[in-house]
């Protein structure tokens, strides 16, 4: 088996992964909401950008988690410097950061948080997809009453 064949196999695996992600999105409409009515111009661009970011995270959980962990580690290092500490204090006190956090959590569905084996998809990612796919059709209004406040 030569390198070209191996790379061809990798490309085929990537195609299968994309198709699987498409299937999951189609089977779970909540992951692929319809664009807002009469959305055009900037609003439609932002909507597509946000959906693209969600797909990038949900479709590449191990890579996204790796990048997330790298940025967190660099951020912690930077926060130990005088400039970094000053910026951290500004970010922590900013309402704009809170708004951005809300956008990010809605977008990523928090799948990058929590435990994860090295170089592997986070547990929260598998849990989310299992919930989205297996839980499809359940009456969530009943489950919602059983769910303690604050739990996803």
Partner 1 sequence: MTLTDPRDALAEQSNFIGYLVGLAGLARVVHALAGDGQSSEVSRSDVPRDSDDFVHVLLGLASLGEAIERLADSAKAPQVQPNPPVESPPPASTTMRWLR
The residues of the shown chain that bind partner 1, judged by CB under 8 A, are: 3-4, 7, 68, 70-79, 83-84, 87-88, 90-98, 100-101, 104, 113
Residue with Cβ nearer partner 1 (115 or 137): 115
- Residue 133 C-beta: closest distance to partner 1, Å: 27
- Give the nearer residue to partner 1 in terms of CB position, either 51 or 91: 91
Six-digit token string for 25: 């999105």
> How crowded is residue 61: how many other Cβ atoms within 10 Å of its Cβ?
23
21 or 91: CB nearest partner 1: 91
Least distance in angstroms from the C-beta of 116 to partner 1? 13
Contacts of 111 (CB under 8 A, 6+ apart): 57, 58, 61, 122, 124, 125, 128
Rg (Cα) of the chain, in Å, rounded? 19
Cα dihedral sign, 82-87-88-93: positive
Tokens representing 85 are 């500490």
CB nearer to partner 1: give 55 or 68. 68
Cβ 144 to partner 1 shortest distance, Å: 26
Q: Residue 48 Cβ, how far from partner 1 at the closest point, in Å?
A: 18
Beta carbons of 123 and 116 less than 8 angstroms apart:
yes
């Amino acid at each position: 088996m030569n390198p070209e064949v191996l790379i061809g196999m990798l490309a085929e695996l990537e195609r299968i992964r994309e198709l699987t992600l498409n299937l999951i999105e189609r089977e779970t409409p909540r992951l692929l909401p319809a664009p807002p009515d009469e959305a055009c111009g900037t609003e439609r661009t932002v909507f597509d950008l946000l959906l693209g970011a969600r797909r990038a995270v949900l479709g590449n959980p191990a890579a996204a988690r790796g990048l997330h962990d790298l940025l967190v580690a660099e951020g912690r290092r930077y926060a130990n410097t005088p400039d970094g500490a000053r910026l951290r204090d500004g970010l922590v006190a900013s309402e704009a950061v809170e708004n951005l956090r809300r956008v990010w959590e809605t977008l990523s569905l928090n799948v990058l948080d929590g435990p994860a084996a090295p170089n592997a998809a986070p547990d929260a990612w598998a849990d989310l997809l299992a919930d989205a796919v297996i839980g499809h059709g359940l009456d969530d209004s009943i489950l919602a009453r059983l769910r303690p406040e604050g739990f996803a």
